[in-house]
Structure 1
């Protein structure tokens, strides 16, 4: 399916809205790096999270319950599968809203609780960068761009985890970083194998080409590899060994956002990939997922 055909499919609408919840926290996060008074930077933090929620709500309204509308933004005028595509269906829009709600409350709490040591090292900017990565994860239409979204989240979360440099933070932060670097390396490997087998990383094209290919050992192997990666990021047992010590080591505002959103991004990626992209040969991946969920 060409990019033009995909954009002309029923229910697919070209729109700028999928970009708004991503670019808003990113741009305002950059503004918080300016040498402003603490009150202004706190206002930018809360305002950025609030605007992100507003755009996410507009996205949810635009996708319309039962309408089947999918909003698509193509960057640089390059159509899929060659360009970067942002896509928002009903599920992505719902999760964008939920992530933005959690981000707004966490930002509000972070702004209310002064922490000069962490704020001196740009905690506000890192938090908005983290929110950017979360929104990008929910709204990307490309498997490699999903990897990029995870890396944006992880760079910000690494910084928020170790800001303060207590012994507990450094110990748990090291464990968290090693786990995520390993999972990210496996995700890059999975992207390469996927492109080699199916010739695309666009999620819509992957769904079509895996359906055309039918049950295939290569697709099954890629599905299992992605299952391991996203299960580690979603903290499914026994791959969630890093989680119990990491969250208590964080400040309250950051820890709340980590607990409410970050592992859910991994679960969302599992649902998106195993159910909508590679559903043709589900026996082994779903059996493994069932075992991990027990």
Structure 2
């Protein structure tokens, strides 16, 4: 009798185990589905799309833009070989006014934006998936710290540390490295695309690592546009942009604004240059 009771108890426990495994599998499937939906909502929140954008995949979408031969305008056709009488090669090695090298205008990826995205990754990822974001974040922060110490360090030591950061960054975002997390893989691909512009600020003295200064310069113009009810016409928007640029540049170059505007309005008189390049009359 006791053996029969024990057998029934064992069978009931096995049945409960099977049922719990089934429920666990269903819960795991629901978690994966919800995780995918959360990821899609997070990406959609960052995407600047129209409110009624389609989310369904279209197998054969229509080509965007005006159809060929329709509308008032059409693309200019490529000239035929017999119509080409002369070919000129345009070379631009520097500024057309002062002939300064274009090295001063090199592009730099904003590290503030990269660090913000890395912070989101470190807060949402767990276990091994968070390691990649932490390592890249520490590397970028080390690069910012190194730039602040450039004047105190010997030239060779600074160059050696910068080279170490370059090599480490290449190792972290190497295409051969298998990143199982899709967000980490996308971020690594993004860094590979802009690889030349990530640590360029380490070598150019006048190049900032972030866009903070530019965004602060744009803020007054944006506030003025918002408080005044936006720009009513395209001409007004263009005038606002030109005047805002002139006023901001005058402040940065320590040029009296009123004096500059008076010279700008005088007929036949060339105002002083605001770009650091000599004016055409000098």
TM-score normalised to the size of structure 1? 0.31
Higher strand share: 1
Higher helix share: 1
TM-score normalised to the size of structure 2? 0.32
